[in-house]
Structure 1
């Protein structure tokens, strides 16, 4: 065999080997990519497990201190803001949606979901009118969370908890035929918004002024807060005259002294919260 024939056969053999290697290399990346989920799929799987209305918003103390995110049925504190005209009712549905029922309003979407997610420590969920944030941790549920019945939505909850079950009274007064007079004295320089729950709309009390609320039927709840968002210290002062109570409102920098509501029970017990 001549040298030219040997050279031609060697070239053909080398060309066939290189072609096989190139075809194998093009198949391997496609197989690897087919086994790897896209980032968007991972994001969608994670997002589908997040409940925007976790149970912690409807449990003490957050039920009476933290407003629920937009789109969730109101808890007690959110309903109080609605009653005071500080929150638009149209932004808060009265009943949970079908998707919220599937996840479990006031619950979690499965036992693997964290019932105390880090989102509660981020804006806007870490802000509330009282300035308090969720504290502590909650153990995850191991059973299927319950769904709030349609006949008992969060709007049926009382705006103000029963303080007689939680603390000792700050003062006691004698009611007159079940009625009391409350004199609010604003010793601050800021305007204070006050409201008799179930009786009056929110009203303004300018700084360094006072107002007397007469003939209020006990039990009665009066809420008040500074319009500039500052803290208020409320001090009740009884009178020698039956059915009279004076409450002086002063500035404070202590979160523990901040008060937003006054309640007088049927027996004349006075509670501040």
Structure 2
């Protein structure tokens, strides 16, 4: 064999060896690429205090130059409560206006008024079948006008005279006054006759002594006013 044939043979064997190695390594290339493209898990999951996840799931940092979100303003008329500081005392209650509080000593006007004690009778007589005879004696110099309420019209009794009112049914009221506007001292007194009352008029020098009415109750009690 000549020298040229030997060189050609060696070149052919070298070329075949190179091509064979390439054919063997080609199936491993895609597998290696596939392994490199698979995302690797976080080897230190405690960094984010969460289970292992891809680095693509990590919190996105803010973009440089981005403005923070503006706070939402409170609604008009509403006051946002502020949290109390450490050791802060609660606010003291505002005392009520004393002028609006009812006075403990105030007495309601709806309560009935206390009854005045009944006055002592000026005289007492024994009625006859519920009726009484009244004799009016005018010892003054002035005329006196009298009237039995609900029974007679006003009448006049001259000075230094008298009149008898018979069969008045109790209770009964008799009014009287001096025509000259003076005051009268009135003195009722039981008569010696059963069921009779004598009433004497005299001049009064003091206005506090003046009387203008007489009332006889069913039980025979006589009151002056």
TM normalised by structure 2 equals 0.48
Which protein has the bigger helix share?
A: 1
Which protein has the bigger strand share?
A: 2
Question: Which structure's relative contact order is higher, taking Cα pairs within 8 Å and 6+ residues apart?
Answer: 2
